[in-house]
Structures are given as structure tokens and as C-alpha cells.
Structure 1
Amino acid sequence: MIRFAIIGTNWITESFLEAANQIETFDLTTVYSRTEEQAQTFAKKHGAPYTYTDLEKMANSDHFDAVYIASPNSFHADQAMLMMKHGKHVLCEKPLASNTAEVEAMIQCAKDHQVLLMEALKTTLLPNFLNIKEHLHKIGKVRRYTASYCQYSSRYDRYKQGEVLNAFDPTFSNGSLMDIGIYAVYPLVELFGEPLSVTGQCYMLDSGVDGQGSLLLQYKDMDAVITYSKITNSYLPSEIQGENGSVIIDKIHTPEKVEIRYKDGTVEDITVSQDQHPMYYEAQEFIHLVSNKKKESAINSFTNSMVTASILENARKQMGVIYPADRSSE
């Protein structure tokens, strides 16, 4: 059994636990929350015997082997490194950290303490995304990647009424690009690597974060266009265009329907069965790596996390989206 702790008792943690509990070797033993009442309530609900409100004491305990971190983005680096310094493996929600300096420090910490660190980005581990990789050669030379993820946030209504929640607060290294734009960026990096250049623009909210935006990324033989938003919805699929055809992806964040449309007019459905909870596959990958004493995922790799962080940071600087964490890292 791999004994887990969790940091963050929000809806994403609930979703992760729903998925991870389907894995026989997953065992939730420890819950951290800022308040004892919340920790106890969450632990009781999920059958965890240990609770903490002090991260130092928790890191020093021998109650768990690995930790899933789902706290606000600005806390990821410090919390992850504290755990890794005490020999704990870390599965950290996307984005891995606020900026490249923090990501670099986290990766070095994982190497120094010989523990596993993995970014919890579900898309690239889903069966349909893996199948896209298997079939990509069929469309010939790739010339363009277009991805759209625009999802109106329920928190935006409260923002318009004057209440700035975490999702729109730069203090927590948040905003549209970091929250959902990354779902379009990370798959691009996994498929095509680091771009030659990045151009970003956004609609800036008064709070100091991007409500929506777009990126143009240039590669040697292709370009990529990414649009994202937390203040509008989009119903467009994403697409990878090749000289012989195009891969059409229904949802870039959670591909469920994928087909190739060839230039001769024929269509090939390459959708595969994806019966498990969408977060099951990232949990499975992480637990498999821990069980086999691996220190890095070949898919959600250090390189992919670092390149993704660099793209996000580069774009944010062009947009003028600056976080307190950026200033403290300088």
C-alpha cells in the first residue's frame, strides 16, 4: 500500500480521492487543513486516521509515504519542498508552481532528496491523449496546433458583485492562464516540445489577473494558437493540422472523442475506451512510479513541467500579469 496525505480539502481533492480510491494500493491516512474542525470533518468522511493543522509536524510524521497537494498555486513550492525534504513523494496539482524559479527549485529538491515529484496534469495521461500520440504520424507533417479551453467560472458572478475569490486573486498566483490555459499548453509541450517563441495577450481584470487570453507559439515548421477564458464559454473542438489530415479533439482538457479527417475526405475514429474517472490515470501513473521506485514520470516529466512553466511565465510577463511570488523569486 502507498499511504497518502492530502493538503487541500476542496472539490479537486474530493475528485482526486474519488479517482484514487479505485486503485487497490492507494490508502489515505493523513489530512491537513488550516483548521482542526475542517481536518477532522474531511478525515472522518474519507476514513483517514490522522489529521494535522501544522505542516512541519505533518512532514515529520511517519504516517504517510506520499502527498497530494491541492492548495492555492502560491503555496505549492514551499509545501512540496517541505514534504520532499522529509522524504515524502509529491503529486502536486497543476500548475506545479507560480513561476520557473519555483519549479526549478522543486525539481532540484526532488533530486537532492531522491523522491518522486510529478505535476498532476490529467490530460497527458488519459488513454485518448496517449492514442493521439500513437496515431499522429498518420496526418503527415504537422503544421498547426489549435486548442481552445474557455469555461465560464461560477466565481466570476461573485467577482462582478465585488467579491474577489482565490480564482481571481494574484496573491495566490491565479488567473485564467494558470487555471485552465495550462490544459492547452501542457499537451502541446508533450507533443512538440519547447517553442522558439511565445506571444501572449489577455483581457486583464481589475484584480490584476487575466480573465481570458490567447497565445501564439512558433516552432520551426509549425505554429500553435491557444485561446482560454474563465469569463466566457467555448464549444469549439481543438485540432492538430497536418499536411495529410487533421486530428479533431472534442475537449483538449479531457479528450473523449477523437478522430482523424484525412484530406481525401475519409474519417477515422481513433477514440478508445476511457471508463475510469479522468483523474484516475494520473493517480495510477504516480502510484506505479512510487511502487517501482522511479523518481520521474516519462510523460509528466521535469522537462515538460519546466517548459510549460516557462511558457506561462513568458506569456504572463508580456500581459503584465505579475504575482507576489514573482517578485520574491527575483
Structure 2
Amino acid sequence: MIKLAVIGTNWITERFLAAALESGKYQISAVYSRSLEQAKAFADKFSVTLTFDCLDKLAACDEVDAVYIASPNSFHAPQSIKMMKHGKHVICEKPIASNYQEAQLAYQTAQENNVVLFEAFMSPYLPNFQQIKSHLPSLGAIRKAHITYCQYSSRYPKYLNGENPNTFNPEFSNGSIMDIGFYCVGSMVELFGEPKSIQAQAHLLDSGVDGNGSIICGYDGFDVVVMHSKTSDSYVPSEIQGEEGAILAEMISIGQKVTKVNRGGETEDLTLEQNANPMFYEAFKFSEQVESNQMDIQAVERSLLISKVTSEIRKQTGVVFPADK
């Protein structure tokens, strides 16, 4: 059993721990929060007695093999690096770093300390995402793709009311492309690799982060249009068009439904039954790497490439984080 600690006590952490326990690969051993009282309250939900409000003490704890990090984005790389320097394996919520340079440093640290660093990007490991990937050849030559994730943030009204939620605060390396947009860019990179060209635009909020944006990425023979927003909703599925047909994906981030439409108009439902908790698959994938003490090279390359692309997108749209300086 992998003795797992968590950094962060939000709903995402709770959902990941449920997935980790369901996998049968983990024992929840410790909880960290900046508030010890909050750490203890969260730990009680999982019958955990070991709690911390000091990262150095958590990093030095012998009762911990691996750490799940779900703190604000700006802390992801620094906290991952601290844990790995103490010999801890790390599964870190996406994005793994504020920028490409931080991401490179994080994976370099993993190699130097002979530990696993894994970005918790669940989409590629979902059975229905694998359906999209495996059926791409049946579309013939790819000619167009549209990948979208637009969802009105529950914290946007707070921002409009003059508050400063983390979601729209550049101090925490946040904004649409680093949150919802990550799933779009990540899905594109997983399916098609590195784009040959990137043209990005965004609507920046007064705080300095993007509320929504669009990107056109060029590939050989086709382009991918990415649409992301935390200030509006969309009900349109993502679509990949080929000369022999198209694939439609509802909520590509979680693989809600996948449909293939042949050039003649016939439809085929490709949807598979998935675990109700989409984080189950990434939790299991991380456990395999920890058990073998070997990082998945393809996952590392994908993670670095996503960071490279999102950094270029922010450069073009003028979104700057303190970490960039």
C-alpha cells in the first residue's frame, strides 16, 4: 500500500481520495493545510490522525511515501519540488507548474531524486477518451478539429462583486487557460502532439487573467480551434473532422459521450461505461508508476508540452504571473 499524504483540503482532494481508496492501492496517512484546525477537520473524514501545518515537517515525515498536491496553481511546482527533494513521489493537480521553465525544473528534480512526478490530468486515462484516440484512424485524413470547454464559474459572481477569488487572481497563476482551457490544450496535445503554429487571443479581466479565449493551432493538413471560458457556458460538443467522418465528444474532459458520424451520415455510439469518479484512472496510473519507481515517459513529455503551449498562449494574450518574473 502506498502511504499517501495530501496538500490541500478542498473538494478536489476529497474526490481524488475517494478514487485512490477505491483503487485499493493507497492508505491515506497524512493531511496538510495552512490551518492545523482545518487539516484535522479534513483528516477526520478519512480517519487520519497525522496532520501538518508545516510543509517541511510533512516532507520529512517517514510515514509518507507519496503526496497528492491540490493547492493553488502557483504553489504546484514549488511544493512538488520540496516534496521530491525529500524522496517523496508526487501526483500534482494540473497544471503542474505556472510556466514551462518551472515544469522543466520540476521534472529535472524528479529525475535527480529518483522519484515519480505525475500530473493529475485525468482525461487521457478515461476509457471514452481512449475511444476517441483509437478511432481517429478510421476518420481518414484529419482536416479540422474543434475542442471546447466553456463553463460559467461559480466564483465569477464574487469577482464581479469586487471580491478577489483565487480563480481570477494572477498571484495564484490562475485564469481560464490554466484551468478549463488546460483540458482543451491537453486533449489536443494528447491526440495530435505539438502544434506547428499557435495563434491565441483572449479577453482579459481587470485582474490581469483571461476570462475566456480562443486559440488556432496549426498542424500538417489541418488546424485545431480551441475555445475556453470561465465567464460563459457552452453546450456544443468537441468535434474532430476527417475525410471519412467525424467524432463528437461531449465534455471531452470527462468523456461523457462519444459518437462517430460516418461520411454518409450513419452514426455509431462509441461510449463505454466508466467509473463514476473520473479520477479513478489517474490514481491507478500513478500507483503503477510508484510501484515500479519509473515515470511514464509519454506522460512526462505530454505534461511538458502542454506547459510549453500554455506558456506561449499566455505570452501572446498578455497574461503574466509573478512566477514568470
**Shared fold (TM-score greater than 0.5)?**
yes
Q: Deviations over 1:103-142 (max 9, x none)?
A: 0000100111111111101111101001211111110011
* SS of residue in 1 equivalent to 2:68: strand
DSSP 3-state at the match of 1:190: helix
Percent identity between the two aligned chains: 49
- Match in the other structure for 1:225: 225
After superposition, where does 1:120-269 map in structure 2 within 5 Å? 120-269=120-269
Paired position in structure 1 for 2:2:
2
Q: Partners in 1 of 2:65 and 2:275 — Cα distance?
A: 28
Query: Structure 1's 297 and 4: CA in aligned 2 closer, same or farther, altered over 3 A?
Result: farther
- Give the residue type in structure 1 aligned to 2:126: L
Given that 1:249 and 1:259 are in contact with CA atoms closer than 8 Å, whether structure 2 keeps it comes out as yes
Q: Residue 324 of structure 1 aligns with which residue?
A: 322
Equivalent position amino acid for 2:324 in 1? D
- Structure 1: how far apart are the matches of 2:155 and 2:275? 30
Cα distance in 2 for partners of 1:254, 1:15 equals 14
The SS at the match of 1:227 is strand
Is the 1:256–1:274 Cα contact (8 Å) retained in structure 2?
no
Contact 1:5–1:67 under 8 Å retained in 2: yes
1:179 alignment partner AA:
D
Name the CA distance, whole Å, in 1 between partners of 2:198 and 2:309: 7
Q: Tell me, in whole angstroms, the C-alpha distance in 2 between the residues paired with 1:313 and 1:159.
A: 24
Work out the CA distance in 2 between the residues paired with 1:258 and 1:238.
10
Deviates more, 1:81-90 or 1:44-53: 44-53
Counterparts in 2 of 1:69-148, with a 5 A limit?
69-148=69-148
Counterpart residue type for residue 255 of structure 2: P
2:60 corresponds to: 60
- Distance between the aligned counterparts of 1:69 and 1:77, measured in 2? 10
Contact 2:99–2:307 at 8 Å: present in 1 too?
yes
Deviation at 1:216, TM superposition (A): 0.6
**Distance across 2 between alignment mates of 1:182 and 1:319:** 15
Deviations for 1:146-175, whole angstroms, at most 9, x for unmatched residues? 111000011000111100110000000000
Aligned to 1:34: 34
TM-score by length of 1: 0.97
Are the structure 2 counterparts of residues 26 and 297 from structure 1 closer, same or farther at C-alpha, using a change threshold of 3 Å?
Answer: farther
The residue type equivalent to 2:309 in the other structure is I
Structure 1 residue 14 displacement after superposition: 1.1
1:288 CA drift (Å):
1.6
Deviation at 1:297, TM superposition (A): 5.5
RMSD: 1.0
Q: SS at 1:207's partner residue?
A: coil
Deviation at 1:292, TM superposition (A): 2.4
Counterpart residue number, 1:309: 307
Conserved 8 A contact 1:124-1:187:
yes
1:191 Cα deviation from its structure 2 partner = 1.1
- Gap regions ≥5 residues in structure 1: none
Contact 2:25 2:284 in 1 (8 A): no
CA distance in 1, matches of 2:310, 2:170: 14
Kept in 2, the 8 Å contact 1:203–1:212? The answer is yes
CA contact (8 A) 2:155 2:167 kept: yes
Deviation at 1:276, TM superposition (A): 3.6
Listed as ranges, the matches of 1:276-315 within 5 Å are: 276-296=276-296, 298=298, 301-315=299-313
